[in-house]
Amino acid sequence: MKRILFTIFAMCAVGVVSQAQVTELPDGFTSGKTVWMVHAGAGFNGVSTDGIETGTNLWVRAMLSEPYNWSCDNEYKRKFGMNFSVAFTRNFGKSPVYWGMELGIGKRGFKQESSFEYFDISSSSYDIIAIGQTSNLLAEYVQFTPINIGYRYLINDKMALDAHAGVFTSYDYWGHYTTDSKVYIDMDSYSPIGELSTSQAYWDVQGMDGYRKFDTGIIGGIGFWYGHFHIECGYQYGFVSVFKGDDGYHCNSWQAKLGYAF
């Protein structure tokens, strides 16, 4: 991934040097010719808010069979990942509306920090049990956007605004899911909570039961062109839940990209 990103930035640098005096927009923006481009950038990846509610319900169902006093907290954080893609666009004649396709690689994932605590008034063996768990998902995927529909507004012959939306499908070719859990028990209300046990688990997503490596969803973005150079902010949302039997974990990503058109 790092080598690919270095290559794309090097190509952009060559383009800057070779076309330092050429700041006009690509001919294809108005002539209907195919415009090829490359993008490289960063994604801030997470899961839908449904995952928070789902995670809370799982913890409660797993730990509570009677009405105890309890508290449960789930926090989901985003994970940083790079992305790279090659794409083409083609206007419908001389119309500012265009269609295109895109093929790229990137990362998806999330970090989950959960804590659960309950006070059992019916048991004399302990008073409080507290459980903490941190989970991390990080996967690399190849992604194909078979259709992308957009609109370019030409400010002048050097600058343009761009907005587009489409659908994508992706496949995770590498990744891992890890959990780190700790259990504490307070045997006496006059003593501090002490650590009872810790556990760690690691799964390769390629062989992980219940993990879905395929995803499909919607993608969109808005951007600004200056000559052959492009900067874009985008968002994508997957319709397929990461885990089978649990519809709360839909991956999404806020993305920032730099691009160059040939």
In one-letter notation, the amino acid at residue 261 is A
> Tell me, what DSSP letter sits at residue 15?
H
Residue 255: what pLDDT? 96
Residue ranges of the alpha helices (H) in 105-151?
none
The encoded tokens of residue 12 equal 């952009």
Structural contact between residues 253 and 233, judged by C-beta atoms closer than 8 angstroms: no
What would the pLDDT profile of 32-80 be if each residue is shown by its tens digit? 899 999 999 999 999 986 655 555 555 555 555 555 566 777 788 999 9
* pLDDT tens profile 108-145: 999 988 887 776 655 555 567 778 889 999 999 999 99
Q: Are the C-beta atoms of residues 74 and 59 closer than 8 Å to each other?
A: yes
Chain position carrying tokens 């005096």: 21
For the stretch 84-113, pLDDT in tens is 999 999 999 889 999 999 999 999 999 988
Would the pLDDT of 210 be above 80?
A: yes
- What is the CA angle 51-112-81, rounded to 5? 100
What pLDDT is recorded for position 111?
A: 92
Model pLDDT for residues 42-53, shown as the tens digit of each residue: 999 999 866 555
- Cα distance between residue 261 and residue 85, in whole Å: 12
Distance of alpha carbon 47 from alpha carbon 75, whole angstroms: 11
pLDDT of residue 69: 60
Mean pLDDT of the chain: 83
Q: Residue 190: pLDDT above 60?
A: no
**Residue 20 pLDDT level (bands cut at 50, 70, 90):** very low
DSSP label at residue 12: H
Provide mean pLDDT across the span 216-236.
Answer: 96
Please determine, for residue 192, whether its predicted confidence score (pLDDT) is greater than 60. no
pLDDT tens-place string over residues 239-248 = 999 988 777 7
Residue where the block lists tokens 């789930």: 74
Residues 73, 215, 35, 81, Cα dihedral to 10°? 40
Domain ranges within the chain, ordered by starting residue: 23-248
Q: Determine the length of the chain.
A: 262
Instruction: State the chain's maximal CA–CA distance in angstroms.
Output: 82
Which residue type sits at 27?
A: D
Q: Cβ distance 49 to 260 under 8 Å?
A: no
Question: Over pLDDT 90: what percentage of the chain?
Answer: 55
H helices present in the chain, as ranges:
2-18, 28-31, 50-63
pLDDT for residue 130: 78
Rg of the chain on CA atoms, in Å: 24
